[in-house]
Chains A and B, each alone.
Chain A
Amino acid sequence: MDVLRQLIQTIVVIVILAVFLEMLLPQGDMRRYVKMVMGLLIIVAVLQSVAGVINSDLLRDIPDVTEAPSGYHPVPLEDIMAAGQSLSDANRQEAAQQYGRGIARQVMSLAALNNDLQVVDASVQLHENTNEISGITVFCSSGVNQSPTPTTEDNAGPDGSGIQPVIISTPGADKPGGAGVQPTATEMQAASDIAGLVANFYNLQREQVHIEFQ
């Protein structure tokens, strides 16, 4: 009922406005032309009001004759498009980051299957446009598993007391300057195995998987 009341009110005001404008028209030959345009405007306004009542898209291509009633400031279309593009880019970037993190966790789980090397971290490089995996880097800790894992048979220490000696060492401490990391042959073999496993699992070239020792 309120909608109908609003519709009638709008049409009445439009007709009064048209009559008031008609009084302003010149007397000459131009009067007919201006009256025609005024009539068209009234038709558009009425059609828009009726379309609003029946929720139709009758006037979807017509610029709005009526505007929002209170406090509405229309935003330019370019700004809306730019904001939508920016939001889309941000969402795509966030999705790519989450995808990369998920793949990195999978890579770490795969690499952890190899007991000869301790995997510290993994990072995944993705193509900017296609979001395909362009490379995987696995960070390993060198010198952690240098001694073989003790079995139940050799649990006893050298003195037979069952206590293993504690060896404290830092990576690269035996190098001059202490900066470089030199993995052992076992670790190199394990790194190669891990790289092959990861490359096969994700259908990558072997060269796309890098192992870095820390």
Chain B
Amino acid sequence: MDILQISGIALTGAVLAMILKTQKPPLAMLLSIFVGVTIFLLVLTKIGAIVDVLRQLAGQANISSVYLGTLLKIIGIAYIADFIAQICRDADQGAIAIKVELAAKVLVLVLAVPIVVAVLQALLRLIP
């Protein structure tokens, strides 16, 4: 049961971080980062199954794998940026967290530009 492992790691990390926070706050922050990364890596191995299902669905709808890849990249960017921004906020670095989120938004928009242009051209061609 993976959820039990993850819950155990998270609970242990939380208790340890709470104890450490009173005596050594930097270590508490490092511990929380370590726990977060560990949980992320544990879940990462399971994401392959979800991606396979998505690919099957996309194949059923005859959607090009290029577009599905773009979409998955965007989701990945969003997750990583959210994760890092949360860690930065935990470390009381709200400014850096905002910058990370800004960078992620820019990257998402850059990936979306070809699709936006395609839709715009199609809509303009609809107008007589």
Residues of A in contact with B (beta carbons under 8 Å apart): 10, 13-14, 16-17, 20-21, 24-31, 33-34, 36-38, 40-41, 43-45, 47, 58-59, 61-69
Could you mark each residue 101-121 of chain B with 1 if its beta carbon is under 8 Å from any beta carbon of chain A, else 0? 100110011011011101101
> In the assembled complex, which residues on chain B have CB atoms less than 8 Å from the CB atom of A27?
82
Alpha-carbon separation in the docked complex, A63 to B121 (Å): 12
How far is the CB of A155 from the nearest CB of chain B, in Å?
A: 87
Interface size (B, Cβ < 8 Å)? 40
Q: What residue in chain A is nearest B85 (Cβ atoms)?
A: A28
**A44–B62 CB distance below 8 A:** no
Q: How far apart are the CA atoms of A56 and B125 in the complex, in Å? A: 11
Main secondary structure of the interface of A (DSSP, over half): helix
Known: A17-B61, A59-B118, A67-B62. A41 touches B67 (CB 8 A): yes
Beyond A26-B82, A44-B119, whether A16 also contacts B105 by CB under 8 A is no
| B74 CB-CB contact with A under 8 Å | yes
A40/B85 in contact, CB under 8 A:
no
Q: Are A16 and B57 interface neighbours, CB within 8 A? A: yes
Residue B75 is within 8 A (CB to CB) of chain A in the complex: yes
Q: Given the interface contacts A26-B79, A37-B115, does A10 sit within 8 Å of B105 by beta carbon?
A: no
> Is B71 in contact with A38, judged by CB distance below 8 angstroms?
yes
Q: Is the CB of A44 within 8 A of B126?
A: no
Given contacts A34-B108, A62-B122, 17 further A-B contacts (CB under 8 A): A17-B63, A20-B54, A26-B79, A28-B78, A28-B85, A30-B105, A33-B108, A34-B74, A37-B115, A40-B112, A43-B119, A44-B115, A59-B118, A61-B121, A66-B61, A67-B65, A69-B62
Whether the Cβ atoms of A63 and B54 lie closer than 8 Å is: no
Is A61 touching B118 in the complex (CB atoms < 8 A)?
yes
From A34, A41, A47, give the contact of B78 (CB < 8 A): A34
Tell whether B81 is near chain A: CB-to-CB under 8 Å.
Answer: yes
Contacts of A20 in B (CB 8 A): 53-54, 57
Which of B61, B75, B82, B116 sits near A14, CB closer than 8 Å?
B61
Could you say which of A14, A20, A30 has the most chain B C-beta atoms within 10 Å of its C-beta? A30
0 or 1 for each of B58-86: is its CB under 8 Å from A? (1 = yes): 10111111110011001101110110011
B44 within 8 A of A: no
The answer to whether B58 touches A36 (Cβ under 8 A) is no
Does B4 sit at the interface, judged by CB under 8 A?
Answer: no
Chain A residues within 8 Å of B74, by CB = 33-34, 37
B49 CB-CB contact with A under 8 Å:
no
Instruction: Give the complex CA separation of A43 and B123 in angstroms.
Output: 10
Contact of B82 (CB < 8 Å), options: A30, A37, A45, A47: A30
Q: How far is the CA of A45 from the CA of B75 in the complex (A)?
A: 19
Q: How far is the CA of A41 from the CA of B66 in the complex (A)?
A: 12
Find the B residue at minimum CB distance from A74.
Answer: B64
In the complex, chain A residues whose CB is within 8 Å of the CB of B1:
none
* Across-interface contacts of A47 in B (CB, < 8 A): 119, 122
Contact A10 B125 (CB under 8 A): no
With A33-B105, A37-B108, A37-B111 in contact, is A25–B75 under 8 Å at CB? Answer: yes
Chain A residues with Cβ under 8 A from B63's Cβ? 14, 17, 45, 65-67
